[in-house]
Structure 1
Amino acid sequence: MKKNIAIVMGGFSSEVNISLKSGNVVFKHLDRKKYTPYRVHILKEKWVALDDESKEYPIDKNNFSFVIDSKSVTFDCVFNAIHGNPGENGELLAYFNLVGLKHTSAPYYQMALTFNKRDTLSVVKEYGIKTATSVYLNKGDVINTDKIIAKVGLPCFIKPNNAGSSYGISKAYNKEEILKGIEVAYKEDSEILIESFLDGREVSVGVIQYKGAIKVLPITEIVTENDFFDYEAKYEGKSHEITPAQISSEEKIKIEAIAEKVYKVLNMSGFSRSEYILVNGEPHFLEMNTVPGLTEASILPQQAQVAGISLSELFENAIESACE
């Protein structure tokens, strides 16, 4: 019997349009012989399921069902394709836990933890994982640029603590740019991180659960035309993504070992894609994405393809792992 799958997409953050693209790719590639997929838009103004003609049906939030042609449709599993709030930060997953729905992401606490950059760094540092030096600020805190520079140096990065897709990130070379970057970051989040610049090669590593085991996917090196891997570089063609990365076998072994260790340390399951900077051959952890981009051009699907895993296989594995 075919499983009913809700592919949730959209969300409440700046990443809504990127999420819709990812969700539609999942919808396109799911095997119709095994699944009956429905696109479900989770938006600030509405929660609706869409039929094949994109007609909308309101979601009953009591049990996450909807009615079509006088028939109630319930779901066997939810495929989470929401980047940012509320899909990647654990909020929606806590709701699914309450109503008893299985989903393709990690448990809600792990999702909340990894969405918070500061808290994630605090955990991995305890396990000896190298990271950048950082300063943490809440909106309203006194800003002392001299103290910030004394700790993290110049240039430095200013990031929203809870955001993705490089929204609100700036690179600062002086005090004035730090203040401007803080202002930009606060538009995305009331908590921000200011991190030291790591001078090295940037790589991205997908780690997933695949056929019952943790699998580290081929590593991608990111070479950007811009000053750093910002939104324009990620989504507007201003970067080159090389998979597999052209790194030494020693570097590859180190990165793979650390990527798997971070996945285990954070008690992850489902999808993840983490970013590292190689400084003198040593990987430094930046952050983890637990709902990475899932379009044909996104990094994790590129890595899966190099590993011999098609998009259909990748998405089916996520669903079957969740159902088990």
Structure 2
Amino acid sequence: MKKNIAILYGGDSSEVKVSLKSGLQVAKIIDTKKYNAFLVLVKGPKWLVKSEPFKDCKVNKDDFSFTADNKKIKFDFALIAIHGTPGENGVLQGYFDIIGIPYSTSGLLTSAVTFNKYACKLYLKDINIDTAKAVLLREKDKIEPDKIIAKVGLPCFVKPNNGGSSYGITKVKTKNALTAAVKKAFAEDTEVIIEEYIQGTELTCGVFKTKKKDIVFPITEIVPLNEFFDVDAKYNGASNEITPARISARDEKNCKELTSLIYDTLNCKGICRVDYILTKNRLVFLEINTVPGMTKASIIPQQAEYLGINMTELFNMVIEDGLVL
């Protein structure tokens, strides 16, 4: 009997548009010879099946099922394609742990730590992984530009501490611009991280480890056409993404080994992507994405294609690994 796979998409953050695209794309590539795939739109407490002929059936969150024509259909596996809240921060993971449904991503603790950029930096810094200097601000904190600049310098990046897809990010070049950038980031989150700017080559490396095999994807070099890898660069083609990256064999080896180490250290599961800045003497960790984009413009599909792995095959591995307890 074919297993029922729920593809969760949507969510409650600024990343909802990207999540919708990822979910729709994943639905197209799921192996329907092996699985029954159902799109499930998550928006606050309202979860609706969006696949025909069951469109707009409400999901019963007591046992992760829905009823159509007096027949209950229970999901066997959750494929999480929600970027941001609640798919990337541990909320959905905690729910599925409670009801005993396997899912495609890292667990609750790993998701919560990696979603919090500052906490993740502290965790990795403790095992001597190179990270950018950073200052954390909470809403109640006073914004003191002189103290912040003394710590991280100029230019610097101001970002929401919890979030992704480059929403709310500003590259700040002057002291006078800092306060407005912080307020912009606070519109996205209750915490803001301010990081030093490191000039170098931006790299990103995907990784996926199953119980049977490890895959460290080819490294992609990102060359933004804008000033940095913002939303426009990520999803509207305003960047050149070069796979494999134009780096030395030594730097490639170091980057792949570090990606594998970070994945293991954080106890990651499923497909992840780790972002870096490479300088002449440093490979600096920026952040890890535990629910990386799966749109046509996303990086993981590009890296998989270079390896000769089609996306249907890749998601077969994700589902099969998750279903094996």
Q: TM-score range by the shorter chain?
A: over 0.9
For residues 179-223 of structure 1, give each alpha carbon's deviation from its aligned partner in whole angstroms, at most 9, with x where no partner exists.
111010000001111000011000011011246233210000000
For residues 276-298 of structure 1, give each alpha carbon's deviation from its aligned partner in whole angstroms, at most 9, with x where no partner exists.
00011421000001000012321
Distance 1:98 1:45, change over 3 A: closer
Q: 1:309 aligns to what?
A: 309
After the TM superposition, which residues 1-324 of structure 1 pair with which residues of structure 2 at under 5 Å, given as runs?
1-44=1-44, 46-53=46-53, 55-210=55-210, 212-324=212-324
For residues 234-260 of structure 1, give each alpha carbon's deviation from its aligned partner in whole angstroms, at most 9, with x where no partner exists.
111110100111111011011111111
Asked whether the 8 Å contact 1:114–1:120 carries over to 2, the reply is yes
Letter in 2 for 1:130: D
For residues 86-125 of structure 1, give each alpha carbon's deviation from its aligned partner in whole angstroms, at most 9, with x where no partner exists.
0100101100111110101111111111000011000110
Asked whether the 8 Å contact 2:8–2:82 carries over to 1, the reply is yes
Segment drifting more, 44-53 vs 292-301: 44-53
Asked whether the 8 Å contact 1:211–1:317 carries over to 2, the reply is no
Counterparts of 2:71 and 2:237, CA distance in 1: 45
Q: Percent identity?
A: 47
For the aligned residue pairs, the C-alpha RMSD in angstroms reads: 1.1
Counterparts of 1:79 and 1:26, CA distance in 2: 9
Counterparts of 1:14 and 1:189, CA distance in 2: 10
Asked whether the 8 Å contact 2:161–2:192 carries over to 1, the reply is yes
Distance apart, 1:55 and its partner CA: 2.0
* TM-score, length basis structure 1: 0.98
Aligned residues: 324
Asked whether the 8 Å contact 2:237–2:297 carries over to 1, the reply is no
Distance apart, 1:26 and its partner CA: 1.1
Counterparts of 2:36 and 2:111, CA distance in 1: 27
Letter in 1 for 2:18: I
For residues 151-190 of structure 1, give each alpha carbon's deviation from its aligned partner in whole angstroms, at most 9, with x where no partner exists.
1110000010001100011000111211111010000001
* TM-score, length basis structure 2: 0.97
Distance apart, 1:41 and its partner CA: 0.4
- For structure 1, the residue ranges without an aligned partner over 5 or more in a row are none
Counterparts of 1:214 and 1:169, CA distance in 2: 33
Distance 1:148 1:191, change over 3 A: same
Segment drifting more, 210-219 vs 6-15: 210-219
